[in-house]
Chains A and B, each alone.
Chain A
Amino acid sequence: MFFWIIKRDLLLAIRRQSDVLTTLFFFVIVVSLFPLSVGPEMNLLRTMAPGVVWVAALLASMLSLGRMFANDYSDGTLEQMLVSPQSLSLLVLGKATAHWLVTGVPLVLMGPVLGIQYDLPTDALFVLTVALLLGTPVLSLIGAIGAALTLGLRGGGVLVSLLVLPLYIPVLIFGAGAVEANMSGIAFDAHLSLIGAFLLASIVFAPWAAAASLRVSLE
């Protein structure tokens, strides 16, 4: 069941590739704007890099949140999910996983490539990739709650950013913190462990909260 939802959302993403590419290009462009505007000051760029990459990843991931449930809502598939004998939380987890595969994984793969623009050392690039790998699923999971709460509302797009961005802050702090710690030569594993903890907590709580919000939104 869980896999059917993932399979369906991936099929849809393949049929409509523009949605996937928009997120990725947004990420690439935002991250690339900074070296162009700040100038080729290597030390400055290196200090900025983790923060810029992470902020861009948050915004890029948020960009596609509106579509997470909106299409299913308008064509009635979401109603079918609610009357399904399967657990709605599991379906939401499936949808969040698909969202991550479609929007998060490209960011994880692109992150280190963009890091080169900022002259990040190789091991910092590695830490950045691991931090993104652990952190981007959290963005999709927390985003699912926001998307479910604002479903069917006018101006939901703005509202979802106001709801979700504050919740992204811990991931941002520790995600960027891990890379900074590595560059200043101190241990970074505590940062990564904390992101891992956020990931586990959001796998448990986010689908449940999003499922409850969906029931309210559809009433």
Chain B
Amino acid sequence: MLQGVNLACVRGDRELFRDVSFSVAAGGLLQVRGPNGSGKTSLLRMLCGLSNPAAGEILWNGISVRSRDGGYYADLTYIGHSSGTKDDLTALENLQISSALAGFEITAAQAVEALRRMGLKGREMLPVKVLSQGQRRRVVLARLLVCKTALWILDEPLVALDVSAVDLMRNLLEQHLQQGGMVVMTTHQEIEIAAAAISQLQLS
């Protein structure tokens, strides 16, 4: 269970938000909403421990994520704005390396299988730099298929995806939530996800 308690975020001398509290339990989806510049990405980066909250505490199963000993990072998959892929490496190499980095060593066959499910059949051995924006995004999102983590933190996962890929993502998210996973995501696109518990967090 992921909890945020009275979080505040300050950028420079501007306060983006304060007293933000939420909790996400198994099977729960938290959608973070708000206009551009309202601190959605800052909040997600905070949840990943990439920056520290100006006030408040983030708890994973009751243990502060800042202590780094609650096993939080083994349970977390973060997909941010920047792709986290290397242009000079092939889609296959990118997927294998990024999942190894996340603690899941996969074989080439598993990686090919995941890329095919993401609709990248025949593109596995191409360097990522020759792929289109949407295809690169699919390479990144393929990590969700191979890294069996409980908590997904996704920053605008649907950007640059076409209709069929958005459908694919919806299925993926629903399946993950049904299996008791947790998702925290931001999106500007309207997407109907069936989940046991959906909560919205509005940042102004």
Contacts and interface: CB of A to CB of B under 8 A. Distances in A.
Interface residues of B, number: 29
B52 to A, nearest CB: 7
25 contacts: A4-B100, A7-B97, A8-B89, A8-B93, A11-B89, A12-B88, A12-B89, A15-B127, A75-B85, A75-B86, A77-B84, A79-B48, A79-B82, A80-B78, A80-B101, A80-B102, A81-B101, A82-B49, A82-B50, A83-B48, A83-B50, A83-B73, A83-B78, A85-B103, A219-B50
A86 B74 CA distance: 8
A1 interface: yes
Interface string A1-15: 100110110011001
A85 B102 contact: yes
A217 to B, nearest CB: 11
B87 interface: yes
Given A15-B89, A16-B88, A79-B80, 18 more contacts: A4-B105, A11-B93, A76-B80, A76-B81, A77-B85, A77-B86, A79-B48, A79-B84, A80-B84, A80-B98, A80-B102, A81-B101, A83-B76, A86-B101, A86-B103, A218-B50, A219-B50, A219-B52
Contacts of B80: 76, 79
Contacts of B102: 80, 84-85
A122 interface: no
Interface of B is mostly: loop
A22 interface: no
